[in-house]
Every structure is written in structure tokens, then in C-alpha cells.
A and B are shown apart, each in its own frame.
Chain A
């Protein structure tokens, strides 16, 4: 296993560029919100209209380098999920965003090859068990996460991990 969660995920690609920061994903004026659906309505406010229009149930976001850089606001990944994003494929993720997405159980995979192949509307299929992401039928390898993270994901994410530790006390 090499991505967050298990199983197969299929969807249509929606492309964003390199260094997309969390201020663009979820501008500061929405940070008093906490409801997922509400945050979902404001995702990418002020960003390219193509992305605003294109995002919806089942979207697989395909990003360049350093996706999610900047602020630690968890409102950003929560909003993406609220808007319907079911997984994110990127050339690379910024550190805090990656932790947040994994903690929220949003499947995130690193594959420079897949990110380079995809264009808007590409059919993307992620097979987490096999560590493969295919773009319009072309298979690309996924960079594996460290073992600890894989175990954490298998345990059902950080929430379950904490539950179990608290129960063991």
C-alpha cells in the first residue's frame, strides 16, 4: 500500500499548477467557517474560473510541485473535500498540507509522471493497493510513503490511532 486509504478510485482530472498555496485554496476571510459543505463552496475563490467551474463531486485534483504550501489551515483540505475532491495526485506536496490530507483521510499520491501526463478531463484511476495511478489508461508508479504512515493509514488515520491509544490507557 502506498497512498492514503485503500481500494480503487476513479474520476476526472482537474489540473492546477505548481506552488498552489492554501491562501488560494481557502482565502483567509473564510477561516471563521468550520462546516465542510460551507467551506466547499468557497474553495479556490478568486482562483482561475476554469478550476472554480470544473471542481465537483468525484474530481481528482492533479497538481504540480509543492501543492498546499503556506498556511497550516486545515480549512483548505476540508474545503476541497467539501467541494467533492476525492483524491489529489501531485508532483509534490508541501509538508503541512500532506499531513493534514492524510489525517483527514483524503487520498494523496505523489507521481510526477502521472501529473505530467494528465490534462483536464483525463480519466484517472488510482489503485492504492498496487501503488499505481493510471492516466487515460497509462500506468504510472506512485512514490511510496514511509512504513509508519502506511501503518497509520491502515489503522484508519490519526483519529483512530488516538482513540486506540486512549483506550489502552
Chain B
């Protein structure tokens, strides 16, 4: 019997022989990721476990992004704990303010994610790496501490659901819309404990695939993969030379379910306040007033997103009663956007552009919402209170929709601003 991508990758990292879904194995990850929120708790637990040295410093990646740059003494102390751990353990893969960016966009950019890799992270969106044909999954700080100490972690091999897309997409439909459409179908626990595989997305770039895999955890999934193809191969050769092997599912792999979607059957999608699974067509929420627009985050702060935003905002203005915050996900993306003139376009339109940071995405700093305010954002979570006051509303959408809404001051179809056309 054949195997899914998740089964193959886990099998290659465990010493358990042939594995099957449901089985619990101990596996050796290629990377163990910690950020400035999960790191400090993990370091405490690492000590309590009686550990003194990390099993393999090469496995470890430390990223300062949630608090970066430190907004408070508490944040500064957390970031200091990260630097101290780097120093005491001799960690090479360390990214401080000004050197990196948001972890999940950063790791692949830095060549720290390869097809076939197993990556565990002290962050739920570690599943993003499925865009690159890698098994990424999030865990809490105690699990991460155990992995630091032992170099291994226990995992239950997940069953997999398959999602097949057919046909071509409509104008202004992006990776974000694809995953929102899927979440609309399966709900916020429709893939709990499972893996997801996506097929038929050949026309979607690696940036868009990141947006898709990033939000599989919003359906409860442990990991999600865009089936590797020529686009994956080109990306991998560009970043890694020939030091990689793609991992594809076998033709006779076993799936829990297969769901099929026609790409031309839906337009832009929007999640309504409270749940990333409460998704509707953009047309149903058009006209809703917005106080703040936020373009950024580990899913949709890529160069592709910034280009989409600039395309909408170039030569236009952010509405008078609305504010726009744009956060490039990494330093490299920020610089590329500068060179392309995107940053200039955004600032001229009235955007506040910030250094890479998780900031407002998790309600930490740099753009929280007040009581009764409404935002539309390209982030991945709109839980109650996520970006500040519990009685602020958050809509999730693509950069096209977010930028168009900034211009209109209300949720707006990008076709209204740019005219019906293209893709």
C-alpha cells in the first residue's frame, strides 16, 4: 500500500521501520524553531528537565519576531533570554531585530527549509513549510524543550485528507482565497489531528502556497502540503542548488477523504469576525466600514502581497477615516519592495510601513484595535480579542481586498478599484 507525503517524511525521520497512520513514533527533526514567545518558556523547562546542552545546535533556529523590536520591558527580557540561550548553547541560526523577520517567511528564504524536511516549531503556524514539501508542525514550549534536550520528539502519524482543485481561477483570487474557501467547507476542526494534501495548484506561486499551508492549522490540521511540482522544483533549485529531493505521495496512498473544488466557481473570500472558519464571498460583506487595514503576517506579508497592495494603491489614497499599516515579513522582502518602488507607492498612498514584526497580528503592539473598531487584515486569525480589544471586529482577506478596502474605507472588491480584468 502506498504512502502519503506526511507518512513518507515521518518515516524517514524515525527509526521505526515501516510506519502507518495512528502509530506513535519518535522522530528526529531537521529543525527545531523557537521564537521570543515560545523560547523563554522552553528554556525554563529545558533547565527543569535537567538538560544542560542542546542535543545538536545545528537543529536549532531562534527567531526574534513576536516582540521585535521590543515594545516593553517584558518583551525586552524575553528577547534577552533568546540571546543568552544563543550564547550559552552556541546557536548559529539566530535572527535578531534587523537581521531576519517573521519566522515562517524567513526560514525558507534563508534555506533552512528543504523538501522532505521535518521541522517542529514552538509556533502553531510551523505548518507553513508544507508549501515547500516539508513536514512542519507546531508544538508548545515543553515539547520543544524536550526536542532541544533529546534531539527527538514523539509524533503520531496523521491520516491525510486530499483536496483537488480543477480549472483556472477567477480574477483577484489568490492563495488566501483558496484556503479560506477550504476552511469554509471543513470548519475550524475539520482536519483536527490530520494532514492535508493540495493538488491542482500549478498556477499558484510559492508565496501563495505559503498562504495556503499557513492556515491549515485553522482547520485543526497538524500539517498541510501542496503536492510538489515544477514550481516547487524551481524554487528549491534556486535556494538549495541540487541538495534536495522532492517527496510526493504514492498513487495508491490512502486518504480519509478527497474533496474537489472548481477554481472558477469562487471569487475572493473573506472570513468574518470571530472565526477563520466563518467565511463568505467578498460580495456579501462589501460596504462594511473599516477603521484599520493591516497587510502583513507570516502568511501574507510576502513580496507577492506587497506587489498586489501596491498595484491597488499606486496613484491612489487611503480613505480619510481609515489607516493602513503594512508590514513586510522579512528584511529581504522589505529591501526588494524598496528596490521595486513598492514602498514609495505605499507611503505616498498614506500607508504606515513598519519593520518586520508579528506586532499587531497577535495583539502585541504596533497597531492594536480599540473597542468597537473594525479591521480588515491579511493575517490568519480573527479570534475575539486577537488584535486588541475583545469588542473589535477582524475580517481576514487577501492583500488585493485589504488594499482596495483601504482606498474605499470599507470592505471593497479590488475589481471596483482596478476594473474588471486579468488573471
List the interface of chain A (C-beta within 8 A of B): 19, 21, 23-24, 27-29, 31-34, 45-47, 65-66, 69-75, 77-78, 92, 94-96, 99-100, 103-104, 146, 148-149, 152, 158-159, 161-163, 165-167
Q: Can you list 30 contacts pairing A with B, beta carbon distance less than 8 Å?
A: A21-B381, A23-B384, A28-B386, A29-B363, A29-B368, A32-B67, A46-B384, A47-B384, A65-B189, A70-B124, A70-B217, A71-B381, A72-B38, A72-B122, A74-B140, A77-B140, A94-B189, A94-B220, A95-B192, A95-B222, A99-B140, A146-B24, A146-B156, A149-B24, A158-B143, A159-B49, A162-B146, A162-B150, A166-B51, A167-B50
Q: Is B19 an interface position by the 8 A CB rule?
A: no
Q: Is B167 an interface position by the 8 A CB rule?
A: no
Binds A, one of B71-79, B224-232, B283-291: B71-79
A73-B38, A103-B140 known; A28 and B124 CB under 8 Å? Answer: no
Residue of A nearest to B384 (CB): A24
Q: Is B141 an interface position by the 8 A CB rule?
A: yes
Q: Contact partner of A99 among B78, B139, B368, CB < 8 A?
A: B139
Q: Contact partner of A72 among B22, B51, B78, B124, CB < 8 A?
A: B124
Q: Contact partner of B189 among A69, A71, A103, A166, CB < 8 A?
A: A69
Q: Is B44 an interface position by the 8 A CB rule?
A: yes
Interface residues in B209-244 (C-beta closer than 8 Å to A) = 217, 220, 222
B390 touches A46 (CB 8 A): yes
* B-side contacts of A19, CB under 8 Å: 188-189, 275
Residue of A nearest to B37 (CB): A31
* B-side contacts of A92, CB under 8 Å: 189, 192
* B-side contacts of A96, CB under 8 Å: 124, 138-140
Q: Contact partner of A32 among B77, B140, B141, B368, CB < 8 A?
A: B77
A72-B140, A100-B142 known; A31 and B362 CB under 8 Å? Answer: yes
B390 touches A47 (CB 8 A): yes
Q: Name the prevailing secondary structure of the B interface residues.
A: loop
A32 touches B72 (CB 8 A): yes
Task: Flag B52-66 by CB within 8 Å of A: 1 or 0 each.
Answer: 000000000000001
Q: Contact partner of B143 among A21, A103, A165, A167, CB < 8 A?
A: A103
The number of residues on chain B lying at the interface, defined by a beta carbon within 8 Å of a beta carbon of chain A, is 53
Q: Is B200 an interface position by the 8 A CB rule?
A: no
B363 touches A28 (CB 8 A): yes
List the 9 closest A-B pairs by CB distance, nearest first. A32-B74, A46-B390, A28-B363, A100-B140, A28-B362, A103-B142, A66-B189, A74-B140, A23-B383
* A-side contacts of B142, CB under 8 Å: 74, 100, 103-104, 158-159
Task: Flag B372-386 by CB within 8 Å of A: 1 or 0 each.
Answer: 000000000101111
A29-B364, A70-B383, A148-B24 known; A34 and B40 CB under 8 Å? Answer: yes
Distance in Å: Cβ of B138 to nearest Cβ of chain A = 5
Task: Flag B176-199 by CB within 8 Å of A: 1 or 0 each.
Answer: 000000000000110011000000
A27-B385, A32-B72 known; A71 and B41 CB under 8 Å? Answer: no
* A-side contacts of B146, CB under 8 Å: 158, 161-162
Residue of B nearest to A78 (CB): B41
Distance in Å: Cβ of B54 to nearest Cβ of chain A = 12
Q: Contact partner of B220 among A66, A103, A104, A165, CB < 8 A?
A: A66
Given the complex of chains A and B, what is the CA–CA distance between A95 and B308 in angstroms? 34
Q: Contact partner of B48 among A78, A95, A152, A159, CB < 8 A?
A: A159
Given the complex of chains A and B, what is the CA–CA distance between A94 and B221 in angstroms? 9
* A-side contacts of B24, CB under 8 Å: 146, 148-149
Residue of A nearest to B53 (CB): A166
Distance in Å: Cβ of B408 to nearest Cβ of chain A = 28
Distance in Å: Cβ of A140 to nearest Cβ of chain B = 21
Distance in Å: Cβ of B207 to nearest Cβ of chain A = 23
Q: Is B123 an interface position by the 8 A CB rule?
A: yes
Distance in Å: Cβ of A15 to nearest Cβ of chain B = 17
A19-B275, A27-B385, A74-B41 known; A166 and B66 CB under 8 Å? Answer: no
Residue of B nearest to A73 (CB): B37
Given the complex of chains A and B, what is the CA–CA distance between A166 and B67 in angstroms? 33
* A-side contacts of B390, CB under 8 Å: 27, 46-47
B49 touches A46 (CB 8 A): no
Distance in Å: Cβ of A29 to nearest Cβ of chain B = 6
A23 touches B386 (CB 8 A): yes
Residue in A75, A149, A162 with the greatest tally of chain B CB atoms within 10 Å: A162
Distance in Å: Cβ of A88 to nearest Cβ of chain B = 15
Given the complex of chains A and B, what is the CA–CA distance between A159 and B44 in angstroms? 12
